[in-house]
Amino acid sequence: MNHKSVLIRIFLLCAYPLFSSATEENAVLKGEDSGQNDLSTDSHSVGGIIKYNMRKSLDLEQEGCYLKTGKNDCLEKCGFNATAKTIFIIHGWTMSGMFESWMHKLVSALMQRESEANVVIVDWISRAQQLYPDAVNHTYGVGLDIAELLNWLQDEHQLPLENVHLIGYSLGAHVAGYAGTHVRGTIGRITGLDPAGPMFEGVEKENRLSPDDADFVDVLHTYTREALGVSIGIQQPIGDIDIYPNGGDVQPGCGLGDVLAVAGNFMEVMKCEHERAVHLFVDSLMNKEHLSYAFQCTGPDRFKKGICLSCRKNRCNKIGYNATKMRKRRNSKMYLKTRADTPFAGYHYQMKMHVFNKKQSDDADPIFNVKLYGEHKDTADMFVDVHDNAISLNMTNTFLVFTEEEIGEVLKIRLSWEGESDSWSSMWKNIKKNFWGWNANPSKPVLEVRRIRVKAGESQKKYAFCAEDSSKTEISPGEYITFVKCPDGWDAKPKKRVPM
């Protein structure tokens, strides 16, 4: 067994009480055939019954009505409408043996948003409530069973597949992929909510959710942080669009301190981030007036620098239920920042400013804050995050500013340079500077910023801001400059640099 296999085993044993025998464990870790292709499509096989619970009530405590392949009387009893939208919700691996709380919220949100739709829960809990590798091996058979039901609905009731939407969480996302692969025709849409990573990362597209499984496949990745060689949510892009809220890494409100204060359980931290994909999707159903937008970017680092806020040529999209089909483009990775709670939508701004080194500033390493004054409200001072890099002198700096509330059109900006005692980060930088070398010249460093360019991601509007007092463009620690809209607008070229 190689080193990576050992790490994967340790991770899985810590994250899930998985393996029942050494034989099963070794088969998984050696990459041996899992036997998926030999699984029966019989929903009453040894793996357990698969049930299709069509909802008529928001209360999941009520039994509901069950669809069965080949049983027309069930369709009539349930009031199934073949011409309406048909939405299947597919859960993932579970330890409890019952629907988790997110299922109630998602069913309720869907039924309120799409009151005429057929909302069906795919109940494969008897197969999902097993050791994780066993549950993985059952995903193929469950997907085939869904495909068999859809094929029968097409044959007997002319169900249009373009009206079918499969929503799968964790392992359920890959179940949806198998259903899409084996149904006759093409399903309209599959949404993957943080599809499971272990045993699916890096495998061939036939063995996981992929863009070929539906006419439109959108994926939300919320827990791609790697531990011991694997991550709970799949890291690689596997849809037509793959959206990584907050980089798909640490989700706001899911920090160790945040969760332990409420739940007191370390496992809840992982659940919070993995399940965040579901809550973002529910939010998209319920908060139509607070739409979240994601922006295409090659990676999270560039996005955090504020480089990727364009909507040209389908480079942005709404997330969750409101995501729209785009021209087929394989593996379009998109990013956004969110709030910690519903409504999750916020507002993204790209800011550009050229910072001139005027005096004693070669080693200045400034910490800037910005405050935005809007037509509706103002923000607090916000740290200018240049993403793990220092402010570059005599160069144009681009950075991302995110506000949790809509402030309306930006009217004014205040740029401040933290003094040496204004924050712990400033104090630490000053201590390091004094520790590593005595400064023979105690005079204050001086920088100059003449113009700040702003692009609003959600509205795509562009503005240029010039110093309110044209004679006050220089700044030192503990000082600030106020900028107002330039009369010449965004497109005007900045003034030529003044020789120093």
Distance of CA 333 to the CA centre of its chain: 10
Is 28 within the bounds of a domain?
Answer: no
Which of 194, 240, 242, 283 is an active site residue?
A: 194
Number of domains in the chain: 2
Q: Please compute the mean of the pLDDT values over residues 279-304 and round it to a whole number.
A: 94
pLDDT at 40 over 50: no
How much is the pLDDT for 264?
A: 57
Q: How confident is the model at residue 34 (pLDDT cuts 50, 70, 90)?
A: very low
Residues 92, 239 within the same domain = yes
Q: How confident is the model at residue 9 (pLDDT cuts 50, 70, 90)?
A: very low
Residue 427: both structure tokens together: 């104090």
Which DSSP helix (H) or strand (E) runs through 138? helix 132-157
Domain end call among 336, 370, 389 = 336
User: Last residue of some domain: 284, 314, 336?
Assistant: 336
Residues 90 and 146 in one domain: yes
Using a 10 angstrom Cβ sphere, with 0-12 exposed, 13-18 middle and 19 or more buried, the burial of residue 497 is: exposed
Could you give the 3-state DSSP secondary structure of residue 453? strand
Q: Give φ, ψ of 490 to 5 degrees.
A: -60, -40
DSSP string, 66-111: EE-TT-HHHHHHHT--TTS-EEEEE----SSSS--HHHHHHHHHHH
Percent of the chain predicted with pLDDT > 70: 80
Percent of the chain past pLDDT 90, that is, above it, reads: 65
Sign of the Cα pseudo-torsion (248, 253, 258, 260, in order): negative
Is 36 a domain residue?
A: no
Which one of 12-21, 88-97, 378-387 scores highest in mean pLDDT? Answer: 88-97
pLDDT confidence of 135, banded at 50, 70, 90? Answer: very high
Q: Which residue bears the tokens 């000053």?
A: 430
Residue 92 lies in a domain: yes
276 assigned ligand-binding residue: no
Q: What is the pLDDT of residue 442?
A: 57
Token reading at 331: 């593996």
Neighbouring CB atoms inside 10 A of 239's CB total: 28
Contact, 173 vs 192, CB < 8 A?
A: yes
C-alpha atoms less than 13 angstroms from C-alpha of 430 in its C-beta half-sphere: 15
416 is catalytic: no
| Bridge pairing between strands 293-296 and 316-318 | antiparallel
**What's the pLDDT score for residue 410?**
96
Q: Which tokens sit at 186?
A: 């093409």
Range from 168-172, 186-190, 260-264 carrying the lowest mean pLDDT:
260-264
Note whether 274 and 251 are within 8 A (CB): no
- The verdict on residue 432 lying in a domain is no
- What's the confidence (pLDDT) of residue 230? 79
pLDDT at position 157 = 94
Last residue of a domain, one of 336, 368, 394: 336
**Is the per-residue pLDDT at 23 higher than 50?**
no
Confirm whether 495 is domain-assigned. no
- Give the domain range for residue 110: 51-336
pLDDT at 261: 57
Residues 190 and 107 in one domain: yes
Interatomic CA distance for residues 348 and 454, integer angstroms: 10
Q: Tell whether 143 and 216 lie within a shared domain.
A: yes
State whether 241 and 321 are in the same domain.
yes
Nearest 5°: phi and psi at 61? -70, -25
Lowest mean pLDDT among 87-96, 230-239, 308-317, 438-447: 438-447
CATH of the domain at 452: 2.60.60.20
Is omega for the bond preceding 343 within 30 degrees of 0, making it cis? yes
Cβ contact 80:117 at 8 Å: no
pLDDT for 77 beyond 90? yes
- pLDDT the model gives residue 100: 87
The radius of gyration of the chain's CA atoms, rounded to the nearest angstrom, is 27
Residue 84's CB is within 10 A of a number of other CB atoms, namely 15
Rounded CA-CA distance 155/178 in Å is 20
Residue 170 catalytic?
yes
Tell me: do 278 and 392 sit in the same domain.
Answer: no
Domain presence at residue 46: no
Structural domain contains residue 367: yes
Task: Count the Cβ atoms, other than its own, within 10 Å of residue 112.
Answer: 11
Q: CA quadruple 248, 254, 257, 260: dihedral positive or negative?
A: negative
Side chain identity at 361, as an amino acid letter?
S
Whether the pLDDT of residue 18 is over 80: the answer is no
Q: What is the pLDDT of residues 219-273, one digit of tens each?
A: 999 999 887 777 899 999 999 999 999 999 889 998 776 665 555 566 777 889 9
Higher pLDDT, 289 or 479: 479
Which helix H or strand E contains 311, and what residues bound it? Answer: none
pLDDT score, position 82: 95
**Six token digits for residue 90:** 């597919």
> pLDDT tens digits, residue range 317-352?
999 999 999 876 666 899 999 999 999 999 999 999
The SS3 of residue 363 is: coil
Highest mean pLDDT: which of 47-51, 96-100, 239-243? 239-243
Position 491 scores a pLDDT of 59
The single residue listed with the structure tokens 């991601």 is: 457
Average pLDDT over the chain reads 84
| Residues 419 and 298 grouped into a single domain | no
What the block records as the tokens of 21 is 């025998």
Task: List all residues 6 or more positions away from 436 whose beta carbon is below 8 Å from its beta carbon.
Answer: none
The string of pLDDT tens digits covering residues 428-437 is 455 455 544 4
Identify the pLDDT of residue 467.
Answer: 96
Q: 282: burial class by Cβ within 10 Å (0-12, 13-18, 19+)? A: buried
* pLDDT value for 280: 98
194 part of the active site: yes
| pLDDT over threshold 90, residue 148 | yes
Please state the rounded mean pLDDT for residues 99-126. 94
Question: 165 has which bridge partners?
Answer: 87, 189
Give a yes or no: residue 221 inside a domain. yes
Q: Work out the number of other CB atoms within 10 angstroms of the CB of residue 40.
A: 12
Residues 189 and 254 in one domain: yes
DSSP 340: S
- Return the CATH number at 318: 3.40.50.1820
Catalytic residue among 34, 43, 108, 170: 170
Residues 104 and 154 in one domain: yes
Give the model's confidence band at 494: pLDDT under 50 very low, under 70 low, under 90 confident, else very high.
very low
208 is in an annotated binding site: yes
* CA dist list (Å): 172 to 111, 166, 184, 474: 20, 9, 20, 57
What are the beta bridge partners of residue 167?
89, 191
Do residues 114 and 164 share a domain?
Answer: yes
SS3 percent helix, strand, coil of the chain, rounded to 5, is 30, 25, 45
Q: How many other CB atoms sit within 10 Å of the CB of residue 472?
A: 12
Are 211 and 161 part of one and the same domain?
A: yes
Three-state secondary-structure class, residue 421? coil
pLDDT for the residue numbered 269: 75
Q: pLDDT-derived band of residue 496, with 50, 70 and 90 as boundaries?
A: very low
- Which of 274, 279, 348, 354 is flagged as catalytic? 274
Are 266 and 294 in a shared domain? Answer: yes
